[in-house]
Amino acid sequence: MQTVPLVREAGVYEGEACTVCEQGVLERFRVVKGQEYLRCPNCEATLMAQPGWLTPEEERAVYALHNNDPGAPGYRAFLEKLALPLLDRIYPGAFGLDFGCGPGPALAKILREAGMDVALYDPFFYPAPAALSHPYDFITCSEVVEHLHYPAKVFGQLDGLLKPGGWLGLMTCFQTNDERFDNWHYRRDPTHVVFYREATLAFIAKKRGWTMFVPRKDVAIFHKPL
């Protein structure tokens, strides 16, 4: 299976098809400090226009600054927002993929401690094509999907990697209040190029035939039918 990177392939501009749902036509949403953001009227995703994207080298430098220490109680509690409801749904010894695991795969460590077998993939820190060549019982994407320049392609790839009956666990900060968008901490991260409402994720689930659960704030878990 061909690897879909988390970095740019082409531009995203007003009037083009939405890269999240591939059905809506992007409209101007607002401009914040010279940076244009677009909105899809179909799936309600908000996207940063291409001129604001960082280069791959700039992206990697930002990611390398992240503190991903699984021994830090606060960070572990943050990751358990996704890990615990996912563990409630998968069986001991299940084989999973931590997609976009970053420089310190702390989520994978938590899942392994719970008896899961977890492979790693990250285009910058764990660029292992072999990890994208076989199916999984579950896949995790913690703080990943907001970085995707072409989300629909990656969601399609993850669907192909997920076994029938498998689970996809995702964590990203849901976009809710347009009036707070300009000063929102999530928007201010220069590597964040797409923002999802809960309705956006529900649209993605429906398109793929998945069932979606929202067990906690900013967490979505998808079940692929048998």
User: Could you read off the pLDDT of 181-192 as tens digits, one per residue?
Assistant: 999 999 999 999
The whole-number average pLDDT for the span 110-136 is 96
N- to C-terminal Cα separation, the chain: 21
Q: Return the CATH class of domain 27-223.
A: alpha beta
CA distance 47 to 28: 10
Q: Which residues contact 125 (CB under 8 A, 6 or more apart)?
A: 63, 101, 102, 103
When the pLDDT of each residue in the chain is averaged and rounded to a whole number, the result is 93
At 10-44, the pLDDT tens digits run 569 999 999 999 999 999 999 999 999 999 999 99
The yes-or-no verdict on residue 97 having pLDDT over 70 is yes
pTM of the model: 0.93
Q: What is the pLDDT of residue 10?
A: 58
Flag the least confident range among 8-22, 36-50, 212-226: 8-22
Boundaries of every domain in the chain: 27-223
